[in-house]
Structure 1
Amino acid sequence: MSAQPVNPNLPPDHVTVIIDGVELAAPKGSMIIHAADKAGIPIPRFCYHEKLPIAANCRMCLVDTEVGGRSAPKPSPACATPVMDGLKVFTRNEKALKAQRNVMEFLLINHPLDCPICDQGGECELQDLSLGYGRSVSRFVERKRVVADEDMGPLVATEMTRCIQCTRCVRFTADIAGTYELGGMQRGENLQIGTYDGKPLTTELSGNVIDVCPVGALTNKVFRFKARPWELTAKPSLGYHDALGSNLFHHVRRGEILRSVPRDNEAVNECWLSDRDRYAHEGLYAADRATVPLIRDGENFREASWDEALAKASQILRDNAADDLGILVHPSTSNEEGALLARLAEALGTGNLDHRIGQCDLSDGAIAEAFAMPAAELEQADAIVIVGSNLRHEVPLLHQRLRKAVKGGTKVHMVNPVDFDVAFGVASKQIVAPSQLADVIGTIDLGDAATIAVIVGGVAENSVHAAAIRKAAADFAAAKRAKLCRIPQGANALGLSQYGVLPASRDAQAMLRDARAGYLIYGIEPGLDFADQLTALKALGGAQVVAFSQFACQSTRQVADVILPIGALAEVDATLTNLDGVAQTALAAGKLPGQAHAGWRVLRALADELKLDGFGFTDLAGLRASIAPKPVQVAKGSAPPLAGNGLEVAASQAIYRVDAVTRRAQALQAHPLNAGPRVLLNPADAATAGLADEAMAKLSTATGTATLQVVIDDRVAPGCAWIETGHGATAPLAASAKVEVVRA
């Protein structure tokens, strides 16, 4: 006869468990710590983390258990003891408290008492729990062990003597990042956590080991020794270096952003943050930051008052209004600024307005669209097809979502010009040159998958063959009843598309190929942000240019007639729309440098100078009340020229050179993933050209030439040359269909 349940009214697959006298319903197979956390009953822990596999090796969560009136002979770890019907748990009785205090005493035997100089001081889990469970005086007088530190790269600082071997960092790199870079070495009291080979961490998510570390063993190397947690103010903000829009806090002291940490949002970034979003704030404080208005004076620039600079800018816009004016906008520009730029373009009578500055082929009039399947739901898909994307570098935390999906049984199929690194197994892959991507999409065999997603990434969207690839992906998705998820090319490309920053006349490429007499460029680094750099610099160099810019860099000075300093997203209140179509709000964190202002304020002042209607608001609330999504009949551009001889160009964005801010973050530039300008060739193509590994090659296109170091890599499709954009050395090649490669 089977035992009767304690509570017959339980939900299906649940049992009754009693914790500290509180009767709870808990799912079968869950652990005591899950039930306690859900009920708000505190149990101390170090190794347990809700997003990581259970290790049960710190033993801090020991509790007393009782079943059927019989007490367990010894305390049980709450994180690894499954619930059962009628289980009684005591977290605060004498037996449990004695066990927890004994564990704490053992943990502190070798821990260095260096809290006054530890960066984790004030937010340390060991510090907090030792206050409640530790002794006031240690009974151990033996010499403490010392563990040698190793250099884990430019982002993570180590003090491994503080390590309590909770293995959270090990489990993060193995199960979340998928790089298996950290592990335990030796045994017993000699156990150490490290990389074994002494090489820097290479995962694009390495900063998360800082967050999961419960002590000061792993800390933020960029933030090290700069401030104490209680000196900092947390400001909610957003990652603006990819379209996911990761939620984060900027920690600020006296107007300076000193570090960034994740802000929990299960639908977006869970509790993680990519290194790009975590460390990019360092770039805000570069030496070439635009801090005062500048006006060209011959070959040089001179500082000017805002009144003089706005008068100069308005004169340029008056002299080059209507079709003579082109307005080019960076795709991470906020919704508020974008709506005002669209309003300004309309008032000046120009339809030459676009944010798609990094895309070569706009012949189909394609604009950013929200994912048909929200990013968080990709974990439940039966099959996912990735088309033209180095996803791990393009949207690191979307790549991490797919890793979770694969672990849950999802089959991933890839169609790419390069066999890009991913941290999960792939069901099938087709590695072909860019011109063949559209042809092979339809040949993918998905079996009997019911829920399918097709993800189209930047390698495809920014290709000279983009229109054909987009059509093939859409046709394939329609035939398979799949959800089409095109990654917006820019942090707010979707929002800018919704708020009308799109051409009614010439698109970005057309207004550069057919040069205008005047331009307004917004948030752009002219030397590196355009798809076709040589054409862009030629067009801008021969025109009058008003530059709204965060940086007074060399390329901006090269083309601009007036530079108006504006704030970056981390310094202003703004709204961005992420790839799911969700509008998210960021609050101003850092202090605006010098005389810089929020972009919307400068646009309003410029409109007043031009005496334009529609800019009568006086604050951000008034601005937001005055704007709304604006449908635009998008003008279709012409297809880019595909002439030329040689190898096809496959271009992807360098992970830490996607925009002006990341390019100036020194720690990111020192990261091993920032490989530098180079060209990667298939061994057969390198042999045909007579090129050896690490040789220098001259690459010639229809528009320009470049000299790059050769890397021979069999991941590259035959007939293809892979480059990364964001480098000045590769800028002449990105928008080219073909390139001739010879020995330099």
Structure 2
Amino acid sequence: MPHIEIDGRELDVAAGTTILEAARQLGIYIPVFCYHPKLSIAANCRMCLVDVEKQWKPLPACATPCADGMKIQTRSAKAKAAQQGVLEFLLINHPLDCPVCDQGGECPLQDITMGYANPHSFYQEEKRVVADKDIGPLIATEMTRCIQCTRCVRFGQEIGGIMELGVVGRGEKEAISTYVAKAVSSELSGNMIDLCPVGALTSKPFRYKARSWELKHTPSLCPHCSTGCNTDVQSLGKDVLRVLPRANESVNEEWICDKGRFAYAGLAASDRGQTPLLRVNGSLQPASWAEALEVAAAGLEHLIQKHGPQAIAALISPNSSNEELFLFQALFRALGVAHIEHRLRQTDFRADAAMPLYPALNMSLEDLERERTVHLCHAFPREQ
């Protein structure tokens, strides 16, 4: 195990550990933009340059493995000058639009600029402008803000499984783009918004709705499939304005699919039924909840009296909450109805006798990842 020293503090690390990983073990902060622990190392932003003894130039901490006897300084004059110089180059073309940027308040570029930037810039030329791209209904683009960290590109390749974004051009003309103006349509595309450190990619449904510090955070679980991804529901008053993933290495790591991220918009959809409707003289008329419940109870009572409880079946969506499911079955069992079901899309129940009462995977998702062979029947895992 290499024995190293960072800012005067000694540490033994495993072989292959990078300087950045070792510094984080000691709680020493090194600024980064392109580095992300779940993605491959690109080392193209150069923000993590540190001063290594006997090296004539600063080295990128995210890509430099620790060697035995290495002595590293993250706050020396040499390291600070390198970080300031890199940050000045990154800010050369970045627009000063923090007051209107949705990333404001949770922007790594803002934070690092406050802590590491040289207050005086030597750049006198005009800033470049990059045309924004329409890449679909979910992600808003402000590509002039982009610093080409390539996090979004690597996410598509390595996590999403679809390379939808790439780097075109060289030098000052380098830019992130799609292939032949194609939309970003993968079911994990919203994670690129979280990964972007500068506000070049932001959420269209959330755009200009609120500032991050105004939102109330409520830990929750995603209800849209059986995975149980951990989520952070963010609201302002009574309105849900954003849903983001919560890190849980055993379930969703730090990602979430687009359905779980953006389905909250349906809560306030213009075509969502908000008022009960009663059929009067062949047409549906708005009614109060008291009227609707009274009519529903009377109709249910009439059906049971006419046909008997054994002729009645009750169906409820499996996406309902535990509380709703409990109250639903309690109501119908009290009425004598025994046929209660949540499997709305299943038509063949002949195997029920051999099925477990509570079907379960009986292993964690982490264990499933380590299985050598997984046999799937009639399944489309990417969509399901």
Question: TM-score scaled to structure 1, two decimals?
Answer: 0.49
Q: Distance in 2 between matches of 1:31 and 1:301?
A: 67
Contact between 1:317 and 1:325, CA under 8 Å: does it hold in 2? no
User: Structure 2: which 5+ residue stretches go unaligned?
Assistant: none
Answer yes or no: is 1:239 the counterpart of 2:222: yes
Aligned pairs for 1:649-728 within 5 A = none
The residue aligned with 2:235 is 252
Answer yes or no: is 1:378 the counterpart of 2:380: no
Task: Give 1:338 deviation, angstroms.
Answer: 1.3
Answer yes or no: is 1:344 the counterpart of 2:331: yes
Task: Give 1:41 deviation, angstroms.
Answer: 1.2
Task: Give 1:292 deviation, angstroms.
Answer: 3.3
Q: Distance in 2 between matches of 1:102 and 1:210?
A: 27
The residue aligned with 1:224 is 207
Aligned pairs for 1:27-426 within 5 A = 27-66=14-53, 71-321=54-304, 322-365=309-352, 366=355, 369-394=359-384
Q: Quick one: which amino acid aligns to residue 381 of structure 1?
A: E
Contact between 1:259 and 1:278, CA under 8 Å: does it hold in 2? yes
Percent identity, aligned pairs only, is 51
SS in 2 for 1:27: coil
Aligned pairs for 1:342-741 within 5 A = 342-365=329-352, 366=355, 369-394=359-384
Contact between 1:156 and 1:207, CA under 8 Å: does it hold in 2? yes
SS in 2 for 1:338: helix
Contact between 2:228 and 2:251, CA under 8 Å: does it hold in 1? yes
Contact between 1:168 and 1:213, CA under 8 Å: does it hold in 2? yes
Q: Distance in 2 between matches of 1:307 and 1:158?
A: 47
Task: Give 1:368 deviation, angstroms.
Answer: 5.8
Q: Distance in 2 between matches of 1:153 and 1:307?
A: 43
The residue aligned with 2:2 is 15
Q: Distance in 1 between matches of 2:19 and 2:260?
A: 35
Q: Quick one: which amino acid aligns to residue 237 of structure 1?
A: S
Task: Give 1:212 deviation, angstroms.
Answer: 0.5
The Cα offsets for residues 493-531 of structure 1, whole Å up to 9 and x where unpaired, read as xxxxxxxxxxxxxxxxxxxxxxxxxxxxxxxxxxxxxxx
The Cα offsets for residues 206-243 of structure 1, whole Å up to 9 and x where unpaired, read as 11111101001111112122222122222222222211
Q: Distance in 1 between matches of 2:31 and 2:271?
A: 48
Q: Distance in 2 between matches of 1:38 and 1:296?
A: 66
SS in 1 for 2:13: strand
Q: Distance in 2 between matches of 1:316 and 1:100?
A: 73
Q: Quick one: which amino acid aligns to residue 18 of structure 1?
A: E
Greater RCO, CA 8 A, separation 6+: 1
Q: Quick one: which amino acid aligns to residue 236 of structure 2?
A: R
Task: Give 1:199 deviation, angstroms.
Answer: 0.6
SS in 2 for 1:24: strand
Q: Mean Cα displacement is larger for which, 228-237 or 204-213?
A: 228-237
The residue aligned with 1:642 is none
The Cα offsets for residues 422-459 of structure 1, whole Å up to 9 and x where unpaired, read as xxxxxxxxxxxxxxxxxxxxxxxxxxxxxxxxxxxxxx
Contact between 1:236 and 1:247, CA under 8 Å: does it hold in 2? yes
SS in 2 for 1:393: coil
1:306–1:190 CA distance, 2 compared to 1 (3 A): closer
Q: Distance in 2 between matches of 1:203 and 1:286?
A: 23
The Cα offsets for residues 282-332 of structure 1, whole Å up to 9 and x where unpaired, read as 112123333334433232344444443333333233333321322101011
The Cα offsets for residues 649-706 of structure 1, whole Å up to 9 and x where unpaired, read as xxxxxxxxxxxxxxxxxxxxxxxxxxxxxxxxxxxxxxxxxxxxxxxxxxxxxxxxxx
The Cα offsets for residues 245-274 of structure 1, whole Å up to 9 and x where unpaired, read as 211112211211122111111111111111
SS in 1 for 2:119: coil
The Cα offsets for residues 53-93 of structure 1, whole Å up to 9 and x where unpaired, read as 00001110111123xxxx32111111001012222221112
Question: TM-score scaled to structure 2, two decimals?
Answer: 0.93
SS in 1 for 2:92: coil
Task: Give 1:107 deviation, angstroms.
Answer: 0.8
Q: Mean Cα displacement is larger for which, 141-150 or 291-300?
A: 291-300
Q: Distance in 2 between matches of 1:101 and 1:87?
A: 24
Contact between 1:173 and 1:179, CA under 8 Å: does it hold in 2? yes
Q: Distance in 1 between matches of 2:264 and 2:140?
A: 18
SS in 2 for 1:126: helix
Q: Which runs of 4+ in 1 moved over 4 A?
A: none
The Cα offsets for residues 572-609 of structure 1, whole Å up to 9 and x where unpaired, read as xxxxxxxxxxxxxxxxxxxxxxxxxxxxxxxxxxxxxx
Contact between 1:62 and 1:75, CA under 8 Å: does it hold in 2? yes
User: Structure 1: which 5+ residue stretches go unaligned?
Assistant: 1-13, 395-744
SS in 1 for 2:375: strand
Q: Distance in 1 between matches of 2:7 and 2:229?
A: 38
Q: Distance in 2 between matches of 1:301 and 1:196?
A: 49
Task: Give 1:346 deviation, angstroms.
Answer: 1.9
Q: Distance in 1 between matches of 2:139 and 2:270?
A: 24
The Cα offsets for residues 348-387 of structure 1, whole Å up to 9 and x where unpaired, read as 1111100001112111114662213322222212122222
SS in 2 for 1:237: strand
Q: Quick one: which amino acid aligns to residue 262 of structure 1?
A: P
Q: Quick one: which amino acid aligns to residue 39 of structure 2?
A: L
Contact between 2:49 and 2:79, CA under 8 Å: does it hold in 1? yes
Contact between 2:266 and 2:272, CA under 8 Å: does it hold in 1? no
Q: Quick one: which amino acid aligns to residue 212 of structure 1?
A: L
More strand by proportion, 1 or 2?
Answer: 1
The Cα offsets for residues 599-624 of structure 1, whole Å up to 9 and x where unpaired, read as xxxxxxxxxxxxxxxxxxxxxxxxxx
The Cα offsets for residues 128-167 of structure 1, whole Å up to 9 and x where unpaired, read as 1000111223221101111122211111111111110111
Q: Distance in 1 between matches of 2:52 and 2:186?
A: 41
Contact between 1:185 and 1:196, CA under 8 Å: does it hold in 2? no
Contact between 2:2 and 2:12, CA under 8 Å: does it hold in 1? yes
